[in-house]
Amino acid sequence: MGPHRTTVATAAPPKAGDCSPSCCPRYHEAVELVGKRWTGAILAVMLQGGSMRFSEIAQAVPALSDRLLSERMKELEARGIVERRVGGASPARVEYELTRMGRDLAPALTELEAWAHRWLKSP
Protein backbone atom coordinates (compact mmCIF):
# COMPACT_ATOMS: atom_id res chain seq x y z
CA MET A 1 0.00 0.00 0.00
CA GLY A 2 1.32 3.44 -0.95
CA PRO A 3 0.82 6.66 0.95
CA HIS A 4 -2.64 8.10 0.92
CA ARG A 5 -3.58 11.54 -0.01
CA THR A 6 -6.58 13.24 1.35
CA THR A 7 -8.14 15.74 -0.96
CA VAL A 8 -10.18 18.47 0.59
CA ALA A 9 -12.63 20.12 -1.73
CA THR A 10 -12.92 23.85 -1.31
CA ALA A 11 -15.72 25.88 -2.72
CA ALA A 12 -14.69 28.25 -5.45
CA PRO A 13 -15.67 31.83 -4.79
CA PRO A 14 -18.93 32.65 -6.49
CA LYS A 15 -18.69 34.54 -9.76
CA ALA A 16 -20.58 37.75 -10.25
CA GLY A 17 -23.97 36.82 -11.59
CA ASP A 18 -24.10 33.36 -9.92
CA CYS A 19 -27.21 34.55 -8.13
CA SER A 20 -29.22 37.71 -8.31
CA PRO A 21 -28.99 40.16 -5.40
CA SER A 22 -32.71 39.86 -4.83
CA CYS A 23 -32.50 36.14 -4.09
CA CYS A 24 -28.91 35.55 -2.95
CA PRO A 25 -28.84 35.12 0.83
CA ARG A 26 -25.08 35.70 1.05
CA TYR A 27 -25.33 39.01 -0.79
CA HIS A 28 -28.16 40.16 1.46
CA GLU A 29 -26.24 39.05 4.56
CA ALA A 30 -23.09 40.94 3.44
CA VAL A 31 -25.01 44.15 2.73
CA GLU A 32 -26.79 43.94 6.08
CA LEU A 33 -23.54 43.28 7.94
CA VAL A 34 -21.43 46.04 6.37
CA GLY A 35 -24.38 48.42 6.10
CA LYS A 36 -25.20 48.36 9.80
CA ARG A 37 -25.01 51.78 11.40
CA TRP A 38 -21.36 52.81 11.94
CA THR A 39 -19.90 49.49 10.76
CA GLY A 40 -18.62 50.95 7.50
CA ALA A 41 -16.91 53.80 9.36
CA ILE A 42 -15.30 51.37 11.83
CA LEU A 43 -14.03 49.17 9.01
CA ALA A 44 -12.67 52.15 7.06
CA VAL A 45 -10.77 53.38 10.13
CA MET A 46 -9.37 49.93 10.82
CA LEU A 47 -8.29 49.46 7.20
CA GLN A 48 -6.18 52.61 7.55
CA GLY A 49 -4.98 52.08 11.12
CA GLY A 50 -3.88 48.45 11.36
CA SER A 51 -3.88 47.17 14.93
CA MET A 52 -5.85 49.61 17.10
CA ARG A 53 -7.02 50.06 20.65
CA PHE A 54 -10.69 50.65 21.40
CA SER A 55 -9.99 54.28 22.36
CA GLU A 56 -8.20 54.91 19.04
CA ILE A 57 -11.18 53.64 17.07
CA ALA A 58 -13.54 55.71 19.25
CA GLN A 59 -11.43 58.81 18.67
CA ALA A 60 -11.39 58.24 14.89
CA VAL A 61 -15.21 57.95 14.80
CA PRO A 62 -16.19 60.63 17.36
CA ALA A 63 -19.96 60.60 16.80
CA LEU A 64 -20.09 56.89 17.73
CA SER A 65 -20.92 56.09 21.37
CA ASP A 66 -18.69 53.68 23.32
CA ARG A 67 -21.67 51.40 23.89
CA LEU A 68 -22.44 51.09 20.18
CA LEU A 69 -18.75 50.74 19.28
CA SER A 70 -18.45 47.90 21.80
CA GLU A 71 -21.52 46.21 20.30
CA ARG A 72 -20.21 46.53 16.74
CA MET A 73 -16.74 45.27 17.70
CA LYS A 74 -18.29 42.18 19.34
CA GLU A 75 -20.37 41.54 16.21
CA LEU A 76 -17.37 41.94 13.89
CA GLU A 77 -15.29 39.65 16.11
CA ALA A 78 -18.05 37.02 16.21
CA ARG A 79 -18.24 37.09 12.39
CA GLY A 80 -14.48 36.64 12.04
CA ILE A 81 -13.86 40.08 10.55
CA VAL A 82 -11.99 41.49 13.54
CA GLU A 83 -9.57 39.78 15.90
CA ARG A 84 -9.37 40.93 19.51
CA ARG A 85 -6.02 40.45 21.24
CA VAL A 86 -5.33 40.94 24.92
CA GLY A 87 -1.76 41.77 25.94
CA GLY A 88 -0.23 40.61 29.21
CA ALA A 89 0.48 44.04 30.69
CA SER A 90 -1.35 45.30 33.73
CA PRO A 91 -3.82 46.72 33.01
CA ALA A 92 -4.40 44.43 30.05
CA ARG A 93 -3.81 46.01 26.66
CA VAL A 94 -6.62 45.11 24.28
CA GLU A 95 -6.08 45.64 20.56
CA TYR A 96 -8.26 44.97 17.57
CA GLU A 97 -7.09 44.10 14.09
CA LEU A 98 -8.85 43.13 10.90
CA THR A 99 -8.53 39.48 9.95
CA ARG A 100 -7.83 38.40 6.40
CA MET A 101 -11.58 38.30 5.86
CA GLY A 102 -11.88 41.88 7.12
CA ARG A 103 -9.00 43.13 4.97
CA ASP A 104 -10.67 41.51 1.95
CA LEU A 105 -13.42 44.12 2.29
CA ALA A 106 -10.99 46.90 1.26
CA PRO A 107 -11.77 46.85 -2.50
CA ALA A 108 -15.53 46.87 -1.89
CA LEU A 109 -15.30 49.74 0.59
CA THR A 110 -12.98 51.69 -1.72
CA GLU A 111 -15.48 51.32 -4.56
CA LEU A 112 -18.35 52.37 -2.30
CA GLU A 113 -16.38 55.46 -1.23
CA ALA A 114 -15.62 56.36 -4.86
CA TRP A 115 -19.29 55.95 -5.77
CA ALA A 116 -20.31 58.17 -2.84
CA HIS A 117 -17.93 60.92 -3.93
CA ARG A 118 -19.27 60.76 -7.49
CA TRP A 119 -22.96 60.65 -6.73
CA LEU A 120 -23.82 61.86 -3.23
CA LYS A 121 -23.89 65.50 -2.32
CA SER A 122 -22.49 66.63 1.02
CA PRO A 123 -25.16 67.87 3.45
**CA angle in degrees (0–180, nearest 5) for 94-100-106:** 100
Give the Cα separation of 113 and 111 in Å (integer): 5
| Parent domain of 91 | 25-119
pLDDT at 13 over 80: no
- 111: CATH: 1.10.10.10
Question: Does residue 11 belong to any structural domain of this protein?
Answer: no
Question: Does residue 108 belong to any structural domain of this protein?
Answer: yes
Across the chain, what does the average pLDDT equal? 87
The whole-model pTM stands at: 0.78
Helices (H), 50-105: 54-60, 66-78, 100-103
Give the Cα separation of 47 and 69 in Å (integer): 16
94-112: average pLDDT: 97
Give the Cα separation of 32 and 30 in Å (integer): 5
Question: Does residue 1 belong to any structural domain of this protein?
Answer: no
**How sure is the predictor about 14, in pLDDT bands with cuts at 50, 70 and 90?**
low
pLDDT digits (tens, 9 = 90+) for 1-11: 444 444 444 44
Question: Does residue 70 belong to any structural domain of this protein?
Answer: yes
pLDDT at 33 over 90: yes
Task: Count the domains in the chain.
Answer: 1
Question: Does residue 47 belong to any structural domain of this protein?
Answer: yes
Question: Does residue 18 belong to any structural domain of this protein?
Answer: no
Question: Does residue 7 belong to any structural domain of this protein?
Answer: no
Q: What pLDDT is recorded for position 90?
A: 81
Work out whether the CA dihedral 59, 63, 68, 71 comes out positive or negative.
negative
